[in-house]
Amino acid sequence: MHRHLLLSLVPFLLAAPGLAGPRPPQMKPAWLLGLLDDELKRNLAVLKKEAVPPYFVSYTVRDLSADHVRASFGAVESDLRKHARTFAVEVRVGDYSLDNTHAIRGRGREPGYSTVSAALPIEDDEGAIREVLWRETDRAYKDAVERLAKVRTNRDVKVGEEDRSDDFSRESPERFVGEPVTIRVDRAAWRDRVKAWSARLLDDPRLLTGAASLWVTEERRWLVSSEGTSVFSGTSLARLVIEATTKADDGMLLPRNLTYASRSPDGLPPDEEVRKDVAGMMADLAAMRDAPQIDPYAGPAILSGRAAGVFFHEVFGHRVEGHRQKDEKEGQTFRDKVGQRILPDFLSVVFDPALRKVAGQEVVGGYELDDQGVRGRKVDVVVGGRFKGFLMSRSPVKGFPKSNGHGRGQAGRAPVARQSNLVVLAGESMPFAALKARLIEECRRQGKPYGLWFRGIEGGFTFTGREIPNAFNVIPTVVYRIHLDGREEMVRGADLIGTPLTALTTVIAASDRTEVFNGVCGAESGWVPVSASSPDLLLSQIEIQRKEKSQERLPILPPPPRTPGGRP
């Protein structure tokens, strides 16, 4: 099995099991914290007397409320409100050095193995809540004991592991009671806005799909553990995605989207700005239809700031997630690279959960405490081109025995090391015009008739495993050829290929402006909000192939008329 990592448009709301009418009554965070703590201690006291006692138990409750509205070509397709609570329990038996969560070699992946989860009543009813906590704790404990036996056998019959790190890091407990975040969503107003934006897409009859979607979610999280951690916190996220597809005459499908995210709907751009962006997206799509197909190309290219951010998130970020270094099925690209130069020396990369803004723009990948109750810390992953270390959850790897507060996951999933706010920093920079001149200069040096400029890129699938080539696939959406005379010419059908390390090492210059991409990222622990910020980057070597063309022809009939008896 391969791991699919994806910086995506799919909302994390998809995973929530229920949807409800009214917003939950204002819950008293302390009441549920007390109940969780009491039930945890009560169960632990009994389980401690068993032959294989737990050395760690944690309870997490996540209460998620979400509003969603989607409209296609001016007509609402869905308009819902969801509310669900998920309870997850983690029971560890064995000890910090070897426990039931240890990877069993020679077997397929077991997603979320260390967490047992269930729906919890959305009402604060002690009896009903206690039953779920008690029942699921029992189940999790039995699973843990059974798995530990398998772990021990597996270790006895297989060759020694390359990385003999502990299974669980020791961290000091956190006690933190934050404020619940309450978002007021003017549903009617947002519904009208979403309708109006998607209605603009009717103006181009050659668009096959055209939709706008808004998600507003607020989450409350309770976390208690046998180590003494007791945390309540609230977060929120508003996301707007506007997407459209068209087809070139030869059948090539051309997608394009706009995506915005903020902690609150008020933080999304104002109506006029979105309208302007929609118009720009429509102009892009129309131009793309008529643009020539790209030829296979290997040579210099500029990635716009957003494109570079996504690029770094996909090809670099996922490979510095700590737990992957331990998994012997993983590529472990950077495992033996600590202290070595992996990027040009003018580049640095940090992940910082404490950031709220980058270059004056909001970033949404931040938090105070991660989903294992560890304080989110700034991690200098690359300093001056040299690799310093990994993003860490509480799963240690060789040389990195502690978490740096990047254990993240969606409700009901076992947290693993995930990205937060990624920032690419350039020690030397130049205005964009100079960067473009530098691209042309580089083309001349390499004897290329033109260079490429990737204005838009979408996250694709990244494979970090060993079973298939350690390749990445980010999808360029808006691409230009920059001719030697400076002329810009849009092309379509570009497919980026290549291997990550090579692509990364060919960065030769950066611009002095930083762009931000906010999105949600999906991996084995589910969807989490992230951001990626970067200046425009000039790479001396990037490889492009022509996208496989869809054989589907254009629609046979023109779109239908707008009104009965009307003309198309």
317 DSSP assignment: G
Out of 10, 14, 46, 359, point to the residue binding another protein (CB under 8 A).
Answer: 46
- Stretch binding another protein (CB under 8 A), from 14-22, 273-281, 293-301, 302-310: 14-22
The answer to whether 135 contacts another protein (rule: CB under 8 A) is yes
- Stretch binding another protein (CB under 8 A), from 46-54, 171-179, 352-360, 510-518: 46-54
* 144 versus 544: smaller Cβ distance to another protein: 144
Out of 11, 32, 33, 39, point to the residue binding another protein (CB under 8 A).
Answer: 39
The answer to whether 129 contacts another protein (rule: CB under 8 A) is yes
Structural contact between residues 144 and 98, judged by C-beta atoms closer than 8 angstroms: no
* 114 versus 198: smaller Cβ distance to another protein: 198
Query: In whole angstroms, what is the distance from residue 566 CA to residue 568 CA?
Result: 7
Out of 9, 15, 19, 27, point to the residue binding another protein (CB under 8 A).
Answer: 19
* 9 versus 118: smaller Cβ distance to another protein: 118
β 450-458/475-483 pair status: antiparallel
Query: In whole angstroms, what is the distance from residue 284 CA to residue 281 CA?
Result: 5
* Alpha carbons within 13 A on the beta-carbon side of 447: 0
The answer to whether 141 contacts another protein (rule: CB under 8 A) is yes
Out of 9, 15, 104, 122, point to the residue binding another protein (CB under 8 A).
Answer: 122
The answer to whether 562 contacts another protein (rule: CB under 8 A) is yes
The answer to whether 34 contacts another protein (rule: CB under 8 A) is no
Query: In whole angstroms, what is the distance from residue 8 CA to residue 17 CA?
Result: 20
Q: Least distance (Å) from another protein to the CB of residue 216?
A: 17
* 194 versus 422: smaller Cβ distance to another protein: 194
- Stretch binding another protein (CB under 8 A), from 67-75, 215-223, 456-464, 511-519: 67-75
- Stretch binding another protein (CB under 8 A), from 18-26, 226-234, 447-455, 498-506: 18-26
Query: In whole angstroms, what is the distance from residue 5 CA to residue 1 CA?
Result: 13
Contacts of 455 (CB under 8 A, 6+ apart): 304, 307, 478, 479, 480
107 DSSP assignment: S
The answer to whether 560 contacts another protein (rule: CB under 8 A) is yes
Among positions 190-229, residues that touch another protein (CB under 8 A) are: 202, 208-209
Count of all residues that appear for the chain in the document: 568
Nearest residue to 67 via CA among 227, 224, 188: 188
Out of 107, 150, 402, 553, point to the residue binding another protein (CB under 8 A).
Answer: 553
* 160 versus 560: smaller Cβ distance to another protein: 560
List of E strands, 226-367: 230-247, 253-262, 297-303, 347-351, 357-358, 361-362
The answer to whether 82 contacts another protein (rule: CB under 8 A) is yes
- Stretch binding another protein (CB under 8 A), from 90-98, 136-144, 221-229, 321-329: 136-144
Site for another protein (CB under 8 A): how many residues? 57
Structural contact between residues 481 and 451, judged by C-beta atoms closer than 8 angstroms: yes
**What does residue 429 show for φ and ψ, rounded to 5 degrees?**
-150, 170
* Residue 459, SS3 per DSSP: coil
Residue carrying the six token digits 């038996």: 93
The answer to whether 150 contacts another protein (rule: CB under 8 A) is no
The answer to whether 249 contacts another protein (rule: CB under 8 A) is no
Out of 10, 14, 30, 75, point to the residue binding another protein (CB under 8 A).
Answer: 75
The answer to whether 74 contacts another protein (rule: CB under 8 A) is yes
The answer to whether 121 contacts another protein (rule: CB under 8 A) is yes
Out of 109, 130, 377, 388, point to the residue binding another protein (CB under 8 A).
Answer: 130
Q: Least distance (Å) from another protein to the CB of residue 46?
A: 4
Nearest residue to 530 via CA among 432, 459, 449, 473: 459
Nearest residue to 429 via CA among 499, 507, 481: 507
Query: In whole angstroms, what is the distance from residue 149 CA to residue 363 CA?
Result: 44
The answer to whether 30 contacts another protein (rule: CB under 8 A) is no
The answer to whether 188 contacts another protein (rule: CB under 8 A) is no
Beta bridge partners of 95: none
- Stretch binding another protein (CB under 8 A), from 120-128, 326-334, 440-448, 504-512: 120-128
Cβ–Cβ contacts within 10 Å for residue 358, how many? 22
**Sign for the pseudo-dihedral over CA of 40, 42, 47, 53:** positive
Out of 95, 110, 123, 271, point to the residue binding another protein (CB under 8 A).
Answer: 123
Contacts of 23 (CB under 8 A, 6+ apart): 65, 81, 83
- Stretch binding another protein (CB under 8 A), from 78-86, 162-170, 497-505, 541-549: 78-86
* 118 versus 181: smaller Cβ distance to another protein: 118
The answer to whether 550 contacts another protein (rule: CB under 8 A) is no
The radius of gyration computed from the CA coordinates of the chain, to the nearest angstrom, equals 25
Structural contact between residues 358 and 533, judged by C-beta atoms closer than 8 angstroms: yes
The answer to whether 73 contacts another protein (rule: CB under 8 A) is yes
Beta bridge partners of 75: 72
- Stretch binding another protein (CB under 8 A), from 127-135, 162-170, 374-382, 465-473: 127-135
Residue carrying the six token digits 């570079």: 308
What is the distance of C-alpha 504 from the center of its chain?
20
H-type helices in 158-265, by residue range? 187-200
Q: Which residues bind another protein (CB under 8 A)?
A: 17-21, 39, 42-43, 46-47, 50, 71-80, 82-84, 119-123, 125-132, 134-135, 137-138, 141-142, 202, 208-209, 552-553, 555-557, 559-564
